[in-house]
A and B are shown apart, each in its own frame.
Chain A
Amino acid sequence: MTGKTALLALHLTVLAIVIVSELIGIHRFQTSIATITILPILYAFALGIALNPHFGLTARFLDDKAVRFAGLMIGVAIMPFIAKFGTTVGPQLQKIVDAGPALLLQEIGNLGTIAIAFPVAVYLLKMGREAIGATYSIDREPNLAIIANRFGLSSPEGAGALGVYAVGTLIGTFVFAIVPPLVYALDWFDLRALAMSCGVGSGTMLAACTGSLTTLVPDEKDSILALAAASNILTYATGLYLSLFVALPLTEWLYSKARPETRAKREQP
């Protein structure tokens, strides 16, 4: 099979996936806690994984090259999506400016991963230096590059970061589709806060998060999209520096406090 045929097969597979996903459509489940919405994007991702040649079903016509090309196509397909997101900001510019301080400050909230995940990894799961790479940030590509630069990807820190990266790639979309509606159901937080926090991760996480929020509160669709878009741009601009100059040193310092050699020895039974 030639390369061109495999690439054509890739696009046709995607066409089939998106048509089936959209025909299934949006489904809502009313649970006692919250309304869970299952969006076509989740079906598309699940079908994409199921049809990945890794599982054999499509291995006959999708080769290794097609898989790599699919990686390139994510980068291409995300561009008009991000552009559409940007176009929601312009008309809402005043609202965005009004929420400016919150938008800037919520970037610091990304350090919440250290508050929650670091203790779990170090104290509950007794992880070693993997915990540093795993918990210092949400471990998307830019964060992975920082770890690669500082420790190398074959270090324990690198293994931790790569593990969270790979798991996040597999289940992040689902987590970001389910969690925001649950948090919304708590009724503790401003919807605008939930919306602007959608921008903390990857593009697919952004899509899942805003998709579930806009389906839940369609009247606020415009401001949800605009706030998420604005926060997403800020993450590009500031996220790298925050994780390089604050999050990583902080996590390393916490680790040195949590696991000084002496205490590690004393804890031995």
Chain B
Amino acid sequence: MTITSTPDTRAIDADEVASGLTSFDERQANVLNYLAYLGIVSALALSVNFIATGANPLDALPGMTILVAVSIAGLQMTKLIPLKIPSVAWISLLAIVITIPGVPGSAWVTEAVGKMSFLALATPVLAYAGLALTETEFRIARTAGWKLVIVAICVMLGTYLGSVAIADLSLRIAG
């Protein structure tokens, strides 16, 4: 999607914002770059996993390798399949398919990735997320004012609770 900027005198400049937000075009980088970056992430995740669960990094390595392979495959699918679906969706679907009981090797895959704690995989994400906050984001958050802070909390609460309420109701009706 393109960002349409209207010429006016407001403090927020659309182009500056668009380039200042923590997002990136996942189609730009090539597979080798991704492999290198995923290698760094793997090293971080295996270290975290070792401290958090005591699992020997060598035992957890096959599981981590599978997760990296699924990530790369999902990225390739994003490039090859002309649908506007983000790569994380393909990665999810692929990960589901290879762990469905009955699919060849699914038991082994499930056991191998079971050695990686999902929270160990999340810790590096959050560390990068804190470091990735840009000056633009700090500035918007600072100038947003207390009203938008209250609204933002209401938005998060409303989205979560609305979803919980409807899910709960559906589960009760469907049994």
Contacts and interface: CB of A to CB of B under 8 A. Distances in A.
Contacts of A163: 140-141, 144-145, 148, 151-152
Given A48-B131, A89-B96, A236-B88, A18 B47 contact: yes
Given A15-B44, A41-B126, A152 B3 contact: yes
26 contacts: A17-B127, A18-B127, A41-B125, A47-B127, A67-B133, A67-B134, A71-B22, A71-B128, A75-B26, A76-B41, A80-B42, A84-B67, A90-B101, A111-B162, A121-B147, A134-B155, A139-B152, A149-B4, A162-B17, A162-B144, A165-B140, A196-B163, A197-B167, A200-B163, A229-B96, A236-B88
Contacts of A120: 150-151, 154
Interface of A: 10-11, 13-15, 17-19, 21-23, 25, 39-42, 44-52, 54, 62, 64, 66-68, 70-91, 93, 99, 101-103, 105-117, 120-121, 125, 127, 130-131, 134-135, 137-139, 141, 144-146, 148-149, 152-155, 158-160, 162-173, 175-176, 179-180, 183, 188-190, 192-194, 196-197, 200-201, 203-205, 207, 209-211, 225, 229, 232-233, 236-237
Contact of A131 (B74, B101, B128, B151): B151
Given A75-B23, A86-B93, A134-B151, 15 more contacts: A17-B127, A41-B122, A51-B130, A54-B138, A73-B37, A79-B71, A79-B74, A86-B94, A90-B95, A117-B151, A135-B154, A160-B151, A166-B141, A175-B157, A190-B167
A67 B68 CA distance: 24
A11 B168 contact: no
A87 B98 contact: yes
Contact of A211 (B10, B34, B122): B122
Contacts of A172: 156
A124 B42 CA distance: 47
Interface of B: 1-6, 8, 10, 12-14, 17-18, 21-24, 26, 29, 34, 37-38, 40-42, 44-45, 47-48, 51-52, 64, 66-68, 70-71, 74-75, 85-89, 91-101, 103, 106, 109-110, 113, 116, 118-135, 137-138, 140-141, 144-145, 147-172, 174
Given A45-B130, A112-B163, A201-B159, A85 B92 contact: yes
A70 B125 CA distance: 9
A191 to B, nearest CB: 10
Given A48-B131, A203-B88, A127 B99 contact: no
A144 B10 CA distance: 18
A87 to B, nearest CB: 5
Contacts of B119: 39-41, 207, 211
Contacts of B52: 22, 25, 40
B128 A70 contact: yes
Contact of B70 (A83, A110, A167): A83
B126 A83 contact: no
Contacts of B129: 45, 48, 70, 74, 169, 173, 204
Nearest to A153: B14
